[in-house]
Structure 1
């Protein structure tokens, strides 16, 4: 038996339950743009999905995973495009992957990029997760989704596999050689197979045990051309913060996430009081307080936690003054911010910033 090795050292981002699983706007936008190219406007697509006509133009909000998968199927049928998934993948660009795409561009090698994909894929979507396996001179890119049993879709795995190859080609500045590609779903019309093999540049089979692309393992040690590795620590730290926030949201009741989102939007306008947030959520202060109590928290607790998280984020930005940080957190006076920060951390914001810079 061939010895199995894996280059991955990063922990994979967990996939939340279906109710919390989502696709970020930039990732969904690639599919929306593909449909628009084929004559299906974002407005028509939105209405077909039961959404307001303007909600997908552009797709700035996250889409639930279930809705995104349906979007792929609806668009493919409405456009009369049996290769819609491949065409979505073909359009994949740096912007498709949002923040974590920038992290990949700062990696020294493709091996490092695969490790960061494993870590930060959840910043783009909760559709599934990638992993790399090495079998001697052959590497396997494997993509698994927990949703395809209950939400069957041919276009989802095809769009993901095609998208990964398109992005890898862009990152490498050349076509990445592929040995073969396998999909777990049933084969489409045999007349379409040549189009698959032309796109991947390799034999493609279906009804396989898993979605997998095999390629020479030496590619993992290719350098990423023009990578600015000096940016990696900053970008990776930002991605870690976003991932931690995302994982926290997946664990928390929806009402807490909704309140936090409104607080973030209103803080810099000095209007993040309970009544303001309740109005923004179409509720009353009393009802909002009751719902938060049922979720085991209070408005003040959520406000303080949000301010603390944002304070850490802002204080790590070297160009941001203490006055600017205080303003963005909704404090009219810097002294009020300093007092609150001492209560949180037992030190001044300036001392915390210096400690963060020194890494101590």
Structure 2
């Protein structure tokens, strides 16, 4: 069963204002209205979606996700919010979200993917496109822009926002908030940023503080229960095949004894996509190999499935906010 942080539920209820019985809704999903706003306190995704759908029976929720996303503050995210602030660039900030999102949800994964004209910040969430999930996705995309604007020295506006589900009854609030076209019925839930925007230095970026916070987040991540067996086996199979390039999902599925459709379904049950799993495997393998001085950067690029060292360097900087050479030097000095 998937989970999300109770913070999201509290923010949705707060954004609705006095048009609903906030205390009753929170109690319904097991949240003490008078309790602390603790992002580590989790609720099931199912109960969260059901709460949103009950709200939709009482009020017009068309603009609610935008208002909720706009209200999100980095200080409410705990150590991850601080790490987002301390990253040296906005791209590095989003790389923190991509890596550490498991600290607040098990049903969503994030991915930074190069695209024509910029980089996509993609939201992966498996499951039927029920109303609660759709509202949650819209709020997540809105909050991703909200937190970016809190660290940037200049106003942040995406190039385009993509949403997989059909448009709500009106989209004026969405386009006003994002400051760009919002395309519904798209193939992805994603935000397209220019590379210039992602390369811009953050207001409070600090490499020293950033390294400390990342080590803290790594420790928190290590305390999350191990991944399901199918995920562990898939990561092992991907790692073994990477020296010949990134393997296709069908190849990994076959090696594990699954059909491609069955394998995709098994990953989706654990809130994962194959692309995100392959990227995670590449990143983890690269980090491990960089700790071993016997491997050159060219060898590590080859072992992690890159045809050129320059491509590996770009990917690693996207993942970690620093180059492989700098990362190795920092680890050696720690």
TM over 0.5: yes
Structure 1 residue matching 2:224: 3-state secondary structure: helix
Choose which of 125, 142, 146 in structure 1 pairs with 2:105: 125
Matched, 1:30 2:11: yes
| Correspondence for 1:79 | 59
Matched, 1:181 2:142: no
Residues 140 and 55 (structure 1), Cα distance of their counterparts in 2 relative to 1, 3 Å cut? same
Matched, 1:206 2:184: yes
Question: Which whole-Å deviations, capped at 9, do the CAs of 1:226-285 have from their partners, x for residues lacking one?
Answer: 22332122211111111111234x669xxxxxxxxxxxxxxxxxxxxxxxxxxxxxxxxx
Question: Which whole-Å deviations, capped at 9, do the CAs of 1:84-108 have from their partners, x for residues lacking one?
Answer: 1111111111134332111111111
- Aligned residues of 1:106 and 1:231 also touching (Cα < 8 A): yes
Residues 202 and 50 (structure 1), Cα distance of their counterparts in 2 relative to 1, 3 Å cut? closer
| TM-score, length of structure 1 as denominator length | 0.58
Residues 207 and 163 (structure 1), Cα distance of their counterparts in 2 relative to 1, 3 Å cut? same
Matched, 1:160 2:174: no
> d(CA) in 1 for partners of 2:128 and 2:26?
23
> d(CA) in 1 for partners of 2:37 and 2:59?
19
| Correspondence for 1:223 | 201
Structure 1 unaligned residues grouped into runs of 5+: 1-18, 253-357
Question: Which whole-Å deviations, capped at 9, do the CAs of 1:14-61 have from their partners, x for residues lacking one?
Answer: xxxxx1x222233433223223x24334312134x3647x35744543
Cα distance, 1:67 vs. partner?
A: 1.3
**Alignment length (residue pairs):** 231
> d(CA) in 2 for partners of 1:204 and 1:102?
29
Question: Which whole-Å deviations, capped at 9, do the CAs of 1:124-171 have from their partners, x for residues lacking one?
Answer: 222311112223532222111013447763211100000000111111
Structure 2 residue matching 1:172: 3-state secondary structure: coil
- Aligned residues of 2:72 and 2:146 also touching (Cα < 8 A): yes
**Residues 143-292 of structure 1: matches in 2 within 5 Å?**
143-149=123-129, 153-189=133-169, 192-248=170-226
Choose which of 67, 70, 86 in structure 1 pairs with 2:50: 70
How large is the RMSD of aligned CA atoms in angstroms? 2.7
Q: Quick one: higher RCO (CA 8 Å, sep 6+), 1 or 2? A: 2
> d(CA) in 1 for partners of 2:118 and 2:71?
27
Cα distance, 1:122 vs. partner?
A: 1.3
Structure 2 unaligned residues grouped into runs of 5+: 230-331
Residues 98 and 74 (structure 1), Cα distance of their counterparts in 2 relative to 1, 3 Å cut? farther
- Aligned residues of 1:110 and 1:220 also touching (Cα < 8 A): yes
Question: Which whole-Å deviations, capped at 9, do the CAs of 1:186-217 have from their partners, x for residues lacking one?
Answer: 1211xx12222111111112111111222211
Residues 154 and 186 (structure 1), Cα distance of their counterparts in 2 relative to 1, 3 Å cut? same
Structure 2 residue matching 1:247: 3-state secondary structure: coil
Cα distance, 1:181 vs. partner?
A: 1.3
> d(CA) in 1 for partners of 2:75 and 2:55?
21
Structure 2 residue matching 1:224: 3-state secondary structure: coil
